[in-house]
């Protein structure tokens, strides 16, 4: 039996601070949303839920909050549709499930869990993945249910500027591009959500979910559903990432943290800071990650100006932060 306290961390994306339009009220609303989800996760940990159940529950709550780019509130593809990606992984068993390009499954993280437990595979994509989720009894919604007027305005403005595929972060010149009701600039923010947890039995788990990037090519898959890139858990560490997906894929960012700890004997902080501060920037990667180790350490580094993030140790009050 593990004697370390159970703990949990979540993120709602990394990005650039939108100073000119950040109201104290908007900042507080984001922090409150993160704390509420942490409290829900902490309650599950307190009643002995597994790390796997806790990360799934927290990511599902983040998917349901339309402020975050996952589930409802997901960004649009160039075709004006939504394609959702998610993954989940359990450390001590290394069981994992992932989905990409979902269009009708309300909670992609639940579909990822179903793939893990009931498909005999690790990853399913597209319409067949939605059909599998439906057959598993997971709620299906109309493809336009994920959209919001703010996200549609974001797409139209990006397309009005030339129609290039644009990452959330890649819009420094695009003033007034999209809604500006959050502390992080939606034009320069990676809105993926994620959770990592260590439970009372010392089990680790990680989950990540995203709508991807605004105006992405239909069919584009980012790092979030790719195990080892945007999500990873083993016996050493659990990691969930957010940022420029292609760079996280080329760096195998989440797995690199584990590799450095296991092969170089690095501590969690040293490994995370090397990946976020050295490995990712070397290939132009911007963003951050949340990580929890088997030893009960937490690390939430980012190389952007801010990252929506929070953490809680069982029995303690949740902490949420946006800026450094």
Nearer to ligand ASP, 132 or 248 (CB): 248
Phi, psi (degrees; rounded to nearest 5) at 243? 150, -160
Phi-psi region of 176 (alpha: psi -120 to 50; beta: other; left: phi over 0): left
Binding status of residue 210 toward ligand ASP by CB under 6 A: yes
Catalytic residues: 192
Binding status of residue 245 toward ligand ASP by CB under 6 A: yes
146 and 130 Cβ atoms separated by less than 8 Å:
no
Q: How near is the Cβ of 136 to ligand ASP at its closest, in Å?
A: 24
Binding status of residue 188 toward ligand ASP by CB under 6 A: no
DSSP assignment string, 252-304:
THHHHHHHHHHHH---HHHHHHHIIIIIHHHTT--EEEEEEETTS-EE--BSS
User: How many alpha carbons fall within 13 Å on the CB side of residue 63?
Assistant: 27
What part of residues 287-306 is at the interface with ligand ASP (CB under 6 A)? 287
Q: Which of residues 71, 108, 230, 285 is near ligand ASP by CB under 6 A? A: 230
Q: First CA to last CA across the chain, in angstroms?
A: 35
Stretch that binds ligand ASP, among 34-42, 103-111, 190-198, 294-302 (CB under 6 A): 190-198
Q: Which of residues 73, 91, 191, 288 is near ligand ASP by CB under 6 A? A: 191
Number of residues that make up the chain: 324
What part of residues 145-174 is at the interface with ligand ASP (CB under 6 A)? 168
Binding status of residue 194 toward ligand ASP by CB under 6 A: no
Nearer to ligand ASP, 250 or 262 (CB): 250
Binding status of residue 223 toward ligand ASP by CB under 6 A: yes
Q: How near is the Cβ of 6 to ligand ASP at its closest, in Å?
A: 26
> What does the per-residue mask of binding to ligand ASP show for 18-37, with x meaning CB under 6 A?
--------------------
Binding status of residue 12 toward ligand ASP by CB under 6 A: no
Residue environment code for 77-92, b if the CB has 16+ CB neighbours within 10 A, otherwise e: bbeeebbbbbbbbbbb
**To the nearest 5 percent, what fractions of the chain are helix, strand and coil?**
35, 25, 40
Task: Report the interface residues with ligand ASP, using CB under 6 A.
Answer: 13, 69, 168, 190-192, 210, 212-213, 222-224, 230, 242-243, 245, 287
């Amino acid at each position: 039996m593990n004697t370390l306290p159970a703990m949990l961390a979540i993120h709602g994306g990394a990005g650039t601070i939108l100073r000119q339009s950040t109201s104290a009220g908007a900042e507080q609303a984001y922090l409150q949303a993160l704390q509420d989800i942490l409290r829900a996760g902490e309650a599950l940990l307190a009643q002995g839920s597994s790390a796997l159940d806790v990360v799934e529950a927290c990511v599902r709550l983040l998917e349901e909050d339309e402020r975050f780019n996952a589930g409802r509130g997901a960004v649009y593809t160039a075709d004006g549709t939504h394609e959702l990606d998610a993954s989940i992984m359990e450390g001590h068993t290394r069981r994992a499930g992932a989905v990409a390009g979902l269009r009708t499954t309300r909670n992609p993280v639940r579909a990822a869990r179903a793939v893990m437990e009931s498909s005999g595979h690790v990853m399913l994509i597209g319409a067949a993945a939605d059909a599998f989720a439906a057959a598993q009894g997971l709620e299906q919604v109309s493809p336009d249910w994920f959209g919001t007027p703010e996200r549609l305005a974001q797409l139209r403005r990006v397309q009005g500027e030339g129609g290039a595929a644009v990452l959330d972060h890649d819009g420094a010149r695009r003033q007034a591009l999209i809604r500006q009701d959050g502390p992080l600039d939606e034009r320069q923010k990676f809105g993926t959500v994620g959770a990592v947890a260590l439970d009372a039995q010392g089990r680790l788990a990680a989950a990540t979910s995203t709508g991807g990037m605004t105006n992405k090519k239909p069919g584009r898959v980012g790092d979030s559903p790719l195990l080892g890139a945007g999500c990873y858990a083993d016996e050493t560490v659990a990691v969930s990432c957010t940022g420029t997906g292609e760079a996280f894929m080329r760096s195998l960012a989440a797995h690199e943290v584990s590799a450095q700890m296991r092969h170089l004997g690095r501590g969690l902080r040293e490994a995370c800071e090397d990946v976020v501060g050295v490995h990712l920037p070397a290939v132009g990667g911007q963003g951050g990650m949340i990580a929890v180790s088997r030893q009960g350490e937490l690390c939430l580094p980012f190389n952007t100006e801010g990252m929506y993030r929070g953490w809680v140790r069982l029995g303690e009050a949740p902490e949420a932060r946006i800026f450094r």
